[in-house]
Amino acid sequence: MDQTMLLKSGDRAELELLFDITRILNKHVELRVALGPILSMIKIRRGLKNSMVTLLDRATGLLKIEEAEGLTEEEKERGIYRLGEGLVGRVFESGIAIVSKDLSKEVPFRSRADMAGMSYICVPICSHNALIGTLSAERRLVRAEKKPPEKQVADDKAFLEKVALLIADSAKLRERIMEEALRQDRENRRIGSINMHRKKHGGDIFGSIACGSGIIGTSGAIRDVYQIITQAAPSDAAILIEGECGTGKELVAAEIVKLSKRSGAPFLKLNCAVLPESIIESELFGHEKGAFPGALKQRSGRFELAHKGTIFLDEIAELSPQIQIKLLRVLQERELERVGDTARIKVDVRLIAASSKALEKEMRAGRFCEELFSRLNVFPIRLPPLRERKGDIMLLADYFIERSAEKNGKQIKRISGPAIDLLTSHTWHGNVRELENCIERAVMLSTDMVIHSYHLPPSLQTATSTDTQANMTLEPALSRLEKEMILEALKLSGGNISAAARDLGISERQMGLRVQHYGINRRTFRKTPKR
C-alpha cells in the first residue's frame, strides 16, 4: 500500500497522529505491544474512548481481542466473538462498517442508560481483500461542539478506516516475517540433521535439498512428523508410514525422497491393494519370457527400475505371506530373482512402506511377517488423522481454496462463518483428502467469491458427521440457511430490500417479513456514500 496516498486527506493534527501511529507500528516487532500505545494515543489526541482491536484466530475461526483500551488482561482473554455475534461479529461477517450515533439504541446495549448519546463505530480490518479483524471506538457526542454529530461520526469513521489500513499492513508484514522465520527454522533443523550424515555419505548433498515443503500445518502433531522426516531422510534405512486413508502418506514419502541423497534418482510408487496377487510379484520383481501365460517378453520389475533410487509401497499389509518373504529377502540380501528365473540381480533400493492398518497388530494376528515388520520399523512415522489436528483445518482449507481457485480460474475472497463452523466441527473420516475434495466442490459452486455452508457437501451438514444429533433438527437448520442467504443478499445489495428480494426470487413483502423475523438491521448493510 502507498501510505503517502493514504495520508493526503485530513487536517494537520490527523496527519501527525497517523504518522505517529505508523512510527509505533514500525518500532515494535509484536503487533499487540504496538496496539496498546496506539489505542491510548487515539484516546488522548482524538477523543475516541474504549477503542478495541480484534483479530481472527484462523485455527478456531473466532475473533479474539488483541488489544482493548480500558479492559483488564482477564477481560481481554474472555473477549471472544463468533462471526455474526454482536456488533463486532456482524462487522466481520459482513465486511461492512457499523456506525451508530446512539449506542443505547443498539440491541445489545438497550439496558445501558449510560450509553445514551455515545457514538459507536466499528470498521473491518482488511488485508489483500481478506478480512482479518475489526477496529472499534466510542465517543460522547456533545452538540455544543463545533462539528455537528453527523459530521463528527463521519470524520471518526474515516479516521478509523485509515488506522485499520495501517494495522492491516503491519499485521500482514508480521505474518510474512513469522512464516519466513518458521520456514528458516525448519530449514535449519533439516540441514542440521543432514549435516550429521554428510561425511558418512560423502559429497555435497545440499544441492538436492529443496527449500519448500508440501506438508501443511502448524499443530504439534505435524511438527513431530516433520522432525522425524528430517531425521530419517538422510539415512538409507527403510521407513514405515502408518495412518488412516487420506492422511497424506504418499506426500510424506515424497518429502522424504526430496530431502534424501537419492532425490535425483528414480522414485517409483506401487499400491499393493489395487493389484491381484498373481500380478504383483511380477510388478515388484519382474519376469522372464514364458514364465507364465501372457509373459510374451522379459520384463524388469519395480525394484530393478528403482535401482539407486527409492520405491514406495502403499498398503503393504495387503501383500500375501509369500510375497512378504520374497520382499524381506530383497531387503536383506540386496538382490532379487525375476519370476521364472534363478539368476540373481543386484539392486540398491531404499524402501518406504505405508499402511492404513496397524502393522504391529497385523503381525500379532499372524497376517504380517514379523521379520519384515522389524526391518520396516526402523523409522516409524504415524500420521495423525485430521480430527486430531483441528488447528490445521483452516490452514489446509485456505491452501486448497487458493489452489483450486487458480486451477479453475475463479476468485474466492473468504469463507462464511457457518461454513467455518461446519469445517471445524466435522469429524473428517476421509481426512485431508476428504477436505480437499469438499473445498474443490465448494470453489466450483461459489458464484459470489464466498464459500458458504450450502456449498459444502451434504455429508458435512448431517447430524452424524458433525456430532450434533441432539442440537439441531430440520426447522432450525433450514432457518439457519435461510438467514445466511438473506444476510448475503442484503450485503450484496447494500441493504436494499427490493434488490435483495429480486436476487432471492421472492417478493419484497416476503423479504421484509423475513428480515423482521430474524431481527436483521438492514441499515448496517447500507454503503456510506463517498465524500
Is the residue at 210 inside a domain? Answer: no
**Distance between CA 466 and CA 408 in Å, rounded?**
29
Whether 462 has a pLDDT exceeding 70, the answer reads no
List, for residues 215-225, the tens digit of each pLDDT value. Answer: 888 888 888 89
Domain-terminating residue out of 384, 412, 441: 384
76-82-86-91 Cα dihedral, nearest 10 degrees: 100
Q: Would you state the cell numbers that stand for residue 389, as one nine-digit string?
A: 489436528
Short-list 478, 436, 483, 482, CA closest to 461: 478
Range name among 45-54, 294-303, 357-366, 520-529 with the lowest pLDDT average: 520-529
Closest by alpha carbon to 420, among 388, 384, 386, 393? 393
Looking at residue 469, its pLDDT comes to 45
CB 275 within 8 A of CB 283: yes
Residues 378 and 418 in one domain: no
**How far apart are the C-alpha atoms of 361 and 353, rounded to whole Å?**
16
pLDDT of residue 135: 94
CA–CA gap between residue 253 and residue 268 (Å, rounded)? 11
Q: What is the mean pLDDT of the chain?
A: 80
DSSP SS3 for 415:
strand
Closest CA to 68 of 81, 84, 83, 79: 79
Q: What is the CATH number of the domain that holds 436?
A: 1.10.8.60
Half-sphere exposure of 275 (CA within 13 A, CB side): 19
Tell me, yes or no, whether 226 lies in a domain.
no
Core vs surface per residue 474-501: b (16+ CB within 10 A) or e: eeeeeeeeebbbbbbbbbebebbbebbb
* pLDDT for res 460: 80
Do 403 and 455 reside in the same domain of the chain?
A: yes
* 510-531: b (≥16 Cβ within 10 Å) or e: ebeebbeeeebebebbeeeeee
Both 347 and 442 in a single domain? no
Q: Mean pLDDT: which of 2-11, 27-36, 282-291, 378-387 is highest? A: 378-387
The verdict on residue 53 lying in a domain is: yes
Model confidence pLDDT, tens digit, residues 359-400: 999 999 999 999 999 999 988 999 999 999 888 888 899 889
Per-residue confidence (pLDDT) for residue 207, from 0 to 100: 26
Cβ atoms of residues 171 and 67 within 8 Å = no
Res. 5: pLDDT tops 60: no
Q: Is the pLDDT of residue 322 over 70?
A: yes
Q: Give pLDDT, residue 145.
A: 58
Read off the pLDDT of each residue in 283-296 and give the average, rounded to a whole number. 82
Residue 208 lies in a domain: no
Residues 408-431 have a mean pLDDT of 86
Lowest mean pLDDT among 260-269, 392-401, 459-468: 459-468
Instruction: Give the pLDDT confidence of 506-520 residue by residue, as tens digits.
Output: 888 888 888 888 888
Q: Are residues 330 and 429 in the same domain?
A: no
Which domain range does residue 89 map to?
3-177
Question: Is residue 487 within 8 Å of 94, Cβ to Cβ?
Answer: yes
The verdict on residue 517 lying in a domain is yes
Residues 30 and 121 in one domain: yes
Does residue 193 lie within any of the structural domains? no
Q: What is the pLDDT of residue 526?
A: 67
Q: Please compute the mean of the pLDDT values over residues 49-76 and round it to a whole number.
A: 85
Q: Domain total for the chain?
A: 3
Mean pLDDT of 87-105: 85
**146-160, 200-214, 343-357, 439-453: which has the highest mean pLDDT?**
343-357
126-130, 155-159, 206-210 — most confident range: 155-159
The region of weakest confidence among 208-222, 247-261, 392-406 is 208-222
- Rounded Cα distance between 255 and 241, Å, is 12
Residues 30 and 162 in one domain: yes
SS (H, E, C) 236-277: CCCEEEECCCCCCHHHHHHHHHHHCCCCCCCEEEEECCCCCH
Q: Which of 155, 177, 199 is the last residue of a domain?
A: 177
In the chain, % of residues over pLDDT 90: 30
Distance separating alpha carbons of residues 312 and 249, to the nearest angstrom = 10
In a domain, 521, yes or no: yes
β-pair type (350-355, 310-314): parallel
Q: Is 207 inside a domain boundary? A: no
**How far is 230 from 214, CA to CA, in rounded Å?**
14
- Domain final residue, candidates 384, 407, 426: 384
Cell 488485508, located at residue: 127
In this structure, are 378 and 446 located in the same domain? no
Average pLDDT on 252-256 reads 93
Element (H, E) at 414: strand 414-415
Of residues 342 and 193, which shows the higher confidence score?
342
User: pLDDT tens for residues 69-91?
Assistant: 888 888 888 888 887 788 888 89
Residue 95 C-alpha cell reads as: 465486511
Instruction: List, for residues 170-205, the tens digit of each pLDDT value.
Output: 877 766 666 565 555 555 554 454 444 334 333 332
Residues 403 and 359 in one domain: no
* CATH code of the domain in which 283 resides: 3.40.50.300
Residue 42 in 3-state DSSP?
helix
- Most confident option among 7-11, 58-62, 187-191, 492-496: 492-496
- Do residues 435 and 345 share a domain? no
The tens digit of pLDDT for each residue in 465-523 reads 444 444 456 676 677 778 878 887 887 777 888 888 888 888 888 888 888 888 888 77
28 and 147: one domain?
yes
Output the domain CATH number for residue 169: 3.30.450.40
The answer on 140 and 44 residing in a single domain is: yes
Check pLDDT > 90 for residue 346: yes
Same domain flag for 325 and 429? no
**Other CB atoms closer than 10 Å to residue 341's CB: what's the count?**
16
pLDDT above 50: residue 454: yes
One-letter amino acid of 221: A
